[in-house]
Amino acid sequence: MSVSIDSVQCGSCKQTLDESSSLLPKDRLPCPACGSMIRIHNVQMKDTITLRTKLGLKHKRPGFNKPIYEEVGGDDLHRKTGLWSRLLRVIDRQNNRYKEEITNAETGEVLRSVDEPLSDHRDRGSAKKRLPPE
């Protein structure tokens, strides 16, 4: 956040004064218009807020343990690099499809693009094979 003092005004007549905002009260000169020693310091603060969204849906059906269709889309933070990307992931169990596209949020560069049968999608994410500890 950045803070700056925009101007100094007389506290009585509101005339803009050519006076430093850091001037001590004992060093001030009276307002040339009304003679008041009261001051108003107009302060301006600026900050930036970035909003990020990520939505997901699941289509469940009685008799099936897992959802027959899942979709996730939106902003995603890569934990290892700390970089934001855009994610679109579809898991369609009924039609045996797995689709995922990850793009760099700033440049639009496609970082990962997968479209394959779900039955071929193995050893990724939490299903990745781990090396035994040494």
* Predicted pLDDT at 131: 72
Contact in structure between 34 and 79 (CB atoms under 8 Å)? no
pTM for this prediction: 0.62
pLDDT tens-digit series, residues 73-96 = 999 998 888 999 999 999 999 999
pLDDT tens-digit series, residues 1-20 = 787 777 899 999 999 999 88
> Who's near 114: CB < 8 A, 6+ residues apart?
98, 99, 100, 101, 121
pLDDT tens-digit series, residues 50-59 = 999 999 999 9
Q: Report d(CA 77, CA 103) in Å as an integer.
A: 11
* Predicted pLDDT at 2: 81
**Cβ neighbourhood burial of 99 (10 Å; 0-12, 13-18, 19+):** middle
Q: Report d(CA 27, CA 12) in Å as an integer.
A: 18
Tell whether the model's pLDDT for residue 134 goes beyond 70: no
* Predicted pLDDT at 127: 65
* Predicted pLDDT at 126: 61
Percentage, residues of the chain above pLDDT 90: 65
What is the identity of the amino acid at 129? Answer: K
* Predicted pLDDT at 68: 95
* Predicted pLDDT at 1: 78
Contact in structure between 3 and 45 (CB atoms under 8 Å)? yes
Contact in structure between 93 and 69 (CB atoms under 8 Å)? yes
Would you kindly state where each structural domain of the chain is located, as residue ranges?
A: 2-46, 54-127
